[in-house]
Amino acid sequence: MAHRIPFPNPPAGAFTFIDLFAGIGGFRIACQNIGGRCVFSSEWDAKAQQTYAYNFGDTPHGDITLEETKQAIPDGFDLLCAGFPCQAFSIAGNRLGFDDTRGTLFFDVAEIIRRKRPRAVFLENVKNLQSHDKGKTFKVIKATLEELGYAVYHNVMSPDKYADIPQNRERIFIVCFDMEQVPHHANFKFPEPVEPTRTIRECIDDTVDDDRYFYTEKMSHFDELKNAIKSYDTIYQWRRVYVRENKSNLCPTLTANMGEGGHNVPLILTRKGIRKLTPKECLNFQGYPQEYMFPEGMANSACYKQAGNSVAVPLIQRVCQQILQVLQ
C-alpha cells in the first residue's frame, strides 16, 4: 500500500516558486506553509530525490547545469529559491559581473534569473560566502544580481536567534527583488530576533533504545567519553582527541558528514547511555515538522547527510513571510 504524502502541493497558491538545489525540501515546506505552490524543483543527489518524492509526491528534476533541465522550468513564477553550493570563481577580467560566474553553479542560478525574471529571489549559503576568496566571491554574486536588475538585501542569521530552534547555524540569506516588477522593494526587512523558549530536550527523543546509536566499552575513546559526558542537557562533540562540551545549550551546526563517525559527531547522554543523535533528531534540530519522514530502508549515512545539508525550516519560513509581504 502506498503511504500518504504528508506535504502535497496545493492546487493553487498565494504565490508560485521554484526550488533549486532542493535537497530534501526545506525551502519547499517553508513556502508551502505560507501558501506557496511549487511549480518546479531540481536536485541531483539520487537519495535526496527519493526523500523529497516520499514527502512531496513528486521527484525533482536532476542536474540543473543541463540545458534540458533548464528548459523544463515554466515561465511566470514569483519566487526563485536556491541553497546553492559555494564555489570559487575564476575572475577573468575582474568585471565583477555575470561573465565572471561561468562554470559555477551560481552561474546556472543567474542564467535562470536572466531568462525567467522572477519577481523575487531567495538564496541561502554558508556564512563564509561573505569572506570567501577575500570577499571576491560575494562581490561577484552581488554585482551579477544587480547587473540583472535586482535590488539585493543580505543578512547573516542563525535559527537559535531568529527562529527559536536550538541549533547554532549561521547562514547568509540573500533576498533580491526585480526593481521593475517590485518598485516598493525597499519595504523589505529581514525578520527581527526572537526570544528563545525551546531547549535541546524538545528535539531529543528519550525513547530511543536502538543499539546502533549507542557507544559501548568496545569502542575506542569510550573512557574519555564517559568521563566527559555528564549532563543530560548538553550536546557534546568528539573532536578527534577530546570531548567538546557546547556550553551554549544549543546543538552545534549539523554537518553533512556527521553520519561517517569520527570527528564532530554530536553526542548526548540519555538514561540508557551515551549515543549520537538519530537522523530524525537531526531533522528536529532543523525545525522540520514531525510528519516529515525519511523513506523506509534508507541508509542512515544518507539520512545524516541530507539532514546536515538542509536548512532550518522555520527561519526560511520567517524570511519568506517578509518577502511575501513585499510581493503582495
What is the secondary structure of 43-91 as a DSSP string?
Answer: ---HHHHHHHHHHHSSPPB--TTSHHHHHTSPS--SEEEE-PPP-----
Catalytic residue among 86, 203, 251, 320: 86
- Taking the C-alpha atoms of residue 176 and residue 153, their distance in angstroms, rounded to an integer, is 6
86 is catalytic: yes
Question: Hey, what's the cell of 191?
Answer: 525578520
- Integer distance in angstroms from the first to the last C-alpha of the chain? 41
Phi and psi for 17 in degrees, rounded to 5? -145, 160
Angle at 38 between CA 311 and CA 70, to 5 degrees: 90
**DSSP one-letter string for 81-146:** EE-PPP-----SS---SGGGGTTSHHHHHHHHHHHH--SEEEEEEEGGGTTGGGGHHHHHHHHHHH
What are the residue numbers of the active site?
86
